Amino acid sequence: MLDHCTPWPAECAERYRAAGHWTGETFGALLARLAAEHAGRVAVVSGGDRWTYRDLDERASRLAAGLHALGVRPRDRVIVQLPNTAVFLETAFALFRLGAIPVFTLPAHRSSEIVHLARHSEAVAYIVAASHDGFDYRTLARRVREEVPGVRHVLVADGDAAEFTPFDSVPVPVAGTPEWPEPDASDVALFQLSGGTTGTPKMIPRTHDDYLYSIRASAEICGLTPETVFLAALPVAHNFPMSSPGVFGVLHAGGRVVMAPHPAPGTAFPLIEAERVTLTGLVPPLALLWMETARTTRHDLSSLEVLQVGGARFSDEAAARVRPVLGCDLQQVYGMAEGLVCYTRADEPEEYRLTTQGRPISADDEIRVVDRHGDDVPPGTPGELLTRGPYTIRGYYRADEHNAAAFTPDGFYRTGDVVRRTPSGHLVVEGREKDQINRGGEKVAAEEVENHLLAHPAVRDAAVVAVPDAFLGERTCAVVVPRGDAPTAAELRAFLRGRGLAGYKIPDRVEIVARFPVTGVGKISKRELRRALAAGLAPTA
Ligand code: OOB
C-alpha cells in the first residue's frame, strides 16, 4: 500500500477476500469489462456529449497514456477539481488506469484548501476546468503552481488554456501496450476528503478493493440495472454522488449517467424530462427546494422512481412529503467519506424509510453505539457511533496524531455522530459530538475557520458554532472577541475570502462579544454559545 496509509490487519483483509467483498478487480479493469459488456450503450450524457462505454474506455486509455508521456507515474498524486462533466469520468478512469491517485476536491474549494492538499499530498499535477459557475480556475491554478512548485503540470480540461496544458495537447501515444505495471487492487485508488473537525482538511485513502466493494454492494441494494438513468446533481467529487451508488455504481450496473452542471430545478428538471431520469440524489435543502418547485413545474418528472436524500438529517415531515409531491420513492442515505454507508431499502415498511437513516451496506460492517466513556449503551439509547468494516478506513493519510484520536486502538472509526439504533438495526441520527457544522450537507470544520479568523489583527479570539436554520438545517456563526476596535462582519468575510477559503465556509453570521462563556476548566463553552445564539441573543457573558 502507498506509504503513510494504514492498511487493514492481515486477518481482516483475508476475511474480506474470503467473503467475496474484495475481488481484486481494479477500476481500470472494471471499465475494460464494462466496455466489453455494454460497448455501444450510452454511459454518460453531458452537455452536448453522449459517450458510449467504448468511448469512455478509449478516452480513458488515451489520456492515461498521455499523462504517462507527460511524466505522471503510478502512485503520483494528482489534484482533480472538475465540475460535473463527462470529462470528470474520463479523468478519473485515466488516473485509475495509470495507477496515479486522484485527490478529488470540490469545485467550491479555493486556494486555502487546494494549496494545502497539493502540499500535503505532494501532488505532481492539478487538473481543472477553465471556468465554472463564473469562477476562473486558471487564476487559482496560477496561485497553486506558485505556492507549490512540486505541481509540475496544470491540465485544463476545456476552453482556452493559456499557459497551461490543454487536454487536447496531451501527447497522443502510439498504439501498443502501456509501459507501466497494472495497479494492485489492494492499493490506494483515490483520495476522498473528510468533512473534518481540525484546522486542515484530511485525506481519506480508498483502495480499489474497498471502494469497489461499497460501489458494487450499493448498486445491488439500490436495485440498479442497465435501465437506470442517474442524474448526477450534487458535485460528483463527493462520496455520495460518486459511490453511493452514484456515478460509479450506475456505470457498474451498465446504466447511464446524466451530468447536471447545477443541482437547481431550473437545470435539473429539463434534464430529468429529456433523459427520462429514474434516480437521483440530493442533500436535504435541495430536496426541499425541488419539492417546492415541483408543485408548479411544467416539466414532466414522471420517470423519476427514487430520490435519495443524504449528507445531513432529512426531517421526518419533509420525508413524508416526497412521494405525494414528487411521485417517487424516498431512499435515505447516511454515509461518510471515511467509509460506512447506510441505506433504507425499497422493500422495507414505510416507517423505516421515512423515519430512519437506514442500515449498513454490509453484514461485515461492525457498529457500536457508545457513551462518553466508550462503553456500549443499551439498545435504543443514543450514543456515539463507532464503526469498522470492509470499506471503512483505518486511518487518514499522513495524520498519525489525528488518527490516534479519530480511531480506537482496535480500529473503529469514531464518527462523532450521535445515533440511536432501532431493534431492526436501523440507525436514526440524533445529533453530533464533533466540532463541525453541517450546512445542508456541506461540512465545515469549526477549527479551520477559527484559525483563519485568528489571523486577523483585530481578532483576539474566535469560536465558530452552528445555529439552527429552517432551510439548511444549520448555518455557521462566528463569535469573535475583538482586539481594539471590533471588525465588521463584512470586513471579516472579505478577509476570509482573501485567504482563499471556500465560499461555503464563510460564516453566515458574525457576533462580536466581550468574552466567551467558559466551562468549569476555563475552555470556551460552545454548548453555552449555541444556546445563547439559538435564543437570538448575542452572548455577552
Ligand atoms: C456524506 O459524507 P461526508 O463525509 O460529507 O459527511 C459525513 C457526515 C456524517 O458523519 C454525518 O455527520 C453527516 O455527514 N451525514 C448525515 C447523513 N448523511 C451524512 N447526518 C444525518 N443524516 C444523514 N442522512 O455526507 C455522505 C457520504 C456518502 C453517502 C451519503 C452521505
Distance 317 CA to ligand 1 centre (A): 19
Distance 200 CA to ligand 1 centre (A): 19
User: Cell 507515474 appears where?
Assistant: 73
pLDDT at position 541, please? Answer: 43
Is ligand 1 within 6 A of the CB of residue 335? Answer: yes
Distance 276 CA to ligand 1 centre (A): 28
DSSP 518: B
| Cis before 409? omega within 30 | no
C-alpha angle with apex 37: 34 to 41, nearest 5 degrees?
A: 85
Is ligand 1 within 6 A of the CB of residue 81? Answer: no
Task: Quote the CA–CA distance of 461 and 482 in Å, as a whole number.
Answer: 7
Distance 286 CA to ligand 1 centre (A): 15
Whether the CA torsion 448, 451, 457, 458 is positive or negative: it is positive
User: What is the helix (H) or strand (E) element at residue 258, kind and residue range?
Assistant: strand 256-259
SS3 letters for 62-110?
HHHHHHHHHCCCCCCEEEEECCCCHHHHHHHHHHHHHCCEEEECCCCCC
Count CB atoms within 10 A of the CB of residue 11. Answer: 8
The grid cell for 99 is 495507477
Is ligand 1 within 6 A of the CB of residue 244? Answer: yes
Q: Which of 193, 218, 308, 334 to mutate to test the pocket of ligand 1 (most atoms within 8 A of CB)?
A: 334
Q: Which pTM value belongs to this model?
A: 0.97
Distance 490 CA to ligand 1 centre (A): 31
Distance 414 CA to ligand 1 centre (A): 14
pLDDT at position 283, please? Answer: 98
Distance 62 CA to ligand 1 centre (A): 35
pLDDT at position 537, please? Answer: 65
* Short-list 239, 283, 47, 54, CA closest to 159: 47
The grid cell for 73 is 507515474
Specify the residue with its C-alpha closest to ligand 1, atom 12: 417
What are the structural domains of the chain? 27-183 (3.40.50.980), 208-432 (3.40.50.12780), 440-534 (3.30.300.30)
* Short-list 260, 281, 271, CA closest to 218: 281
Is ligand 1 within 6 A of the CB of residue 466? Answer: no
> Are the C-beta atoms of residues 333 and 244 closer than 8 Å to each other?
yes
Q: Which of 234, 239, 331, 336 to mutate to test the pocket of ligand 1 (most atoms within 8 A of CB)?
A: 336
User: Does residue 443 sit in helix, strand or coil?
Assistant: strand
pLDDT tens track, the chain, 541 positions:
999 999 999 999 999 999 999 999 999 999 999 999 999 999 999 999 999 999 999 999 999 999 999 999 999 999 999 999 999 999 999 999 999 999 999 999 999 999 999 999 999 999 999 999 999 999 999 999 999 999 999 999 986 767 788 887 787 766 666 789 999 999 999 999 999 998 899 999 999 999 999 999 999 999 999 999 999 999 999 999 999 999 999 999 999 999 999 999 999 999 999 999 999 999 999 999 999 999 999 999 999 999 999 999 999 999 999 999 999 999 999 999 999 999 999 999 999 999 999 999 999 999 999 999 999 999 999 999 999 999 999 999 999 999 999 999 999 999 999 999 999 999 999 999 999 999 999 999 999 999 999 999 999 999 999 999 999 999 999 999 999 999 999 999 999 999 999 999 999 999 999 999 999 888 999 999 999 887 876 655 4
Atom of ligand 1 minimally distant from the CA of 429: 21
Strand residue runs (E) in 273-394? 279-282, 306-310, 329-336, 339-343, 359-360, 366-370, 383-388
